[in-house]
Amino acid sequence: MKVIIVGSGLAGATAAAALNDAGADVRVIEQSPVWGGQLRTEHAGGIHYEPHGAHILHTTDRQVWDFVTDRVEMLPYRHRVMTEVDDRLLSWPPQVSELEQLPQWADIRRELDRRPGTPRTTNFETWCEDIMGTTLYSLFIRPYTIKQWGTDPRELAAQWAPKRIELRVDGYRDLFRDPYQGWPRGGYLTLIDALLGGVPVEMGAAVDAETFAERTRGADAVVLTAPLDVFFRHALGELPWRGVRLESHFLPGADHVLPCGVVNHPGLDQAYTRRIETKWMSGQTRAGTVVSYEYPGAPARHYPVDDVDGRNRGLAHDYRALVAEEFGPRVHLAGRLATYTYIDMDQAIRQGLNAAARILKRADARYPTAGRP
């Protein structure tokens, strides 16, 4: 069974490792001169930091967690985020008990009492206003969204809001409630290295629709993790993405500068959206730290734009249909870039595992005597 993986990000590396474990003949093709995609950890003065933003592995999926922890040691880190509002540091997601210290509390309480039972899904703004009221939305969400997405929040769909936005009353201050959470000892490249260490990887090589047949000749299956509009040379149009740029500062004499791993800054008085101190995640105790400032609007493919009219989702659907039409069932899509979806790390791993499982199932049907090692 010969399989080619196009792309060495988390989804592609996961599929490669799972297929390699099952005895398949796997090869990875990566356009960049390095593997790992946007999942990278770098060092300054021996201190870890992430040049593409904070990544936290959190999941309810025990199989995903076991798949990772079988390969790397995960430090027991629980992620916390705070937000700067009116010169105060408050929990994110907002805790109602903390909001009483805000000068706008009387308006906030009145608006919370008037919330509808079911939030409107007209757009991102209406959904947020209905769960927290106009005042909290204007403090925590609206300016941050304008900076992050470069558009009016009413132009964004409400579809992904329930997963990212909430208002809490229970005092639980970890960002994620998932039972399995952590950060890999040594950084995320240790995970990518572990996934791809036993797999041939051709780096600095591009694959698109025109070169696909030649580059994948002889393969029984292909896992495609590349952005489909680029893969098809924008034949149907360009899929919009929103990227971020990080400016990182090494502070040799500091232990910690921020009160937690991430501090959001929603206000329009600063161009950055958040500050990140990876030392909280890495658990390092040596002197020095790195604080990274995250600026949105970079020419990178970090976040797909889920517009309120659904045009971008429709275009992504058309590209997926084009893959099926031109290349048939031997091509399997996985990862944020290929699926044009706003997914977490555990979902990227799950998509890689599912792609590998579909390929192996199809191989068993075609070659019933192949078995497993």
CA distance 201 to 29: 6
Distant-in-sequence, close-in-space partners of 39: CB < 8 Å, separation ≥ 6: 9, 10, 52, 55, 188, 189, 191, 192, 345
The C-alpha angle with vertex 172 and arms to 169 and 174, in degrees rounded to 5, equals 135
CA dihedral 191, 194, 200, 201 (to 10 degrees): 20
pLDDT at 288 exceeding the cut of 80: yes
pTM of the entire predicted model: 0.94
Percent of the chain with pLDDT over 70: 98
| Tens-digit pLDDT profile for residues 112-144 | 999 999 999 999 999 999 999 999 999 999 999
| Tens-digit pLDDT profile for residues 322-334 | 999 999 999 999 9
The amino acid occupying position 368 is: P
pLDDT at 308 exceeding the cut of 70: yes
Question: Exposed/middle/buried for 111, CB within 10 Å: 0-12, 13-18, 19+?
Answer: middle
| Tens-digit pLDDT profile for residues 218-254 | 999 999 999 999 999 999 999 999 999 999 999 998 9
pLDDT at 180 exceeding the cut of 60: yes
| Tens-digit pLDDT profile for residues 340-357 | 999 999 999 999 999 999
The single-letter DSSP state of residue 154 is: G
Q: What is the mean pLDDT of residues 7-16?
A: 97
Quick one: pLDDT band at residue 373, thresholds 50, 70, 90?
very low
| Tens-digit pLDDT profile for residues 66-107 | 999 999 999 999 999 999 998 899 999 999 999 999 999 999
pLDDT at 372 exceeding the cut of 50: no
pLDDT at 371 exceeding the cut of 90: no
CATH architecture of residue range(s) 2-41+187-239+305-366:
3-Layer(aba) Sandwich (3.40)
Delimit the domains of the chain by residue range: 2-41+187-239+305-366, 81-164
163 by DSSP, 3-state: which?
helix
